[in-house]
Structure 1
Amino acid sequence: MSEERFASEAGGSSHWPTELRLNRAERVLSVSFDDGSRFDLPAEFLRVESPSAEVQGHTPAQKQLVTGKRHVAITRVDPVGNYAVRLTFDDGHDSGIYSWTLLHRLGRDREALWQSYLDALAAKGLGR
């Protein structure tokens, strides 16, 4: 089966997911929220925006530019309490914990974040 569904329970987050669906074939995590929003988040995008210290550093100036993830896939989605999921990628990265609020923000701001990533790659002469 190429899709996995993860249903959520009621909770106290300001952006609470009503459904997470991993489409392995498309390499996309789809997230629907109780405010009616729905986002399709590509694995590559989630990987390069990982909330892990390895990617984000401890200050904005320490953020790492992650390259070579065009074909990365999500292999696991594991709940973390009732507030987040841990994504495991096929490149071995699994230290990012994606809170519901972060997933909502990544979905809402995806276009601007992706363009900023592409611009940073171009400025350094790097590719995806």
Structure 2
Amino acid sequence: MNAPVPIGITLHRASHVLEVAYDDGEVFRLPAEYLRVNSPSAEVQGHGPGQKVLVTGKADVEIVEIIPVGHYAVLLKFSDGHQTGIYSWDVLYALGRDHERNWRDYLDALDAAGRSREV
């Protein structure tokens, strides 16, 4: 089975949401904060298993620019200066598909660390 192909990407600046539509009918509305704290960059994911960094204080982060990377991904630039995560179409699909679980896990990790989404 072929991986879903994106057919549309829209940045909703007022709501700070990136909407990504795929050819299988899926449409994901991904908040900027969610994308920032789950950046595929080494800065967030680390360089190996178990090295993911808990990113905090990003409740007000915005996506300021979307840059295409070939035909396979986009680079998202965020208002906090982060711009090293290349979001492949597969990564965005997985983030959309697993949004609810990932967000719950993130909030649980914040709670366990005594940290906050706020600055």
Question: C-alpha separation between the residues in 2 aligned to 1:104 and 1:54?
Answer: 21
Q: Secondary structure at the match of 2:114?
A: coil
- Determine which of 104, 109, 114 is the counterpart of 1:115: 104
Deviations 1:47-98 (A, max 9, x none): 0000000000011311000000000000000000000000000000000000
Mapped pair 1:75 → 2:64? yes
Question: C-alpha separation between the residues in 1 aligned to 2:59 and 2:20?
Answer: 21
List runs of 5+ in structure 2 lacking aligned partners.
none
Q: Identity, % of aligned pairs?
A: 59
- Determine which of 85, 95, 115 is the counterpart of 1:126: 115
Mapped pair 1:40 → 2:50? no
Runs (4 or more) in structure 1 with deviation over 4 Å come to: none
Corresponding residue pairs, total: 116
Deviations 1:8-66 (A, max 9, x none): xxxxx712100000011110000000000000000000000000000000113110000
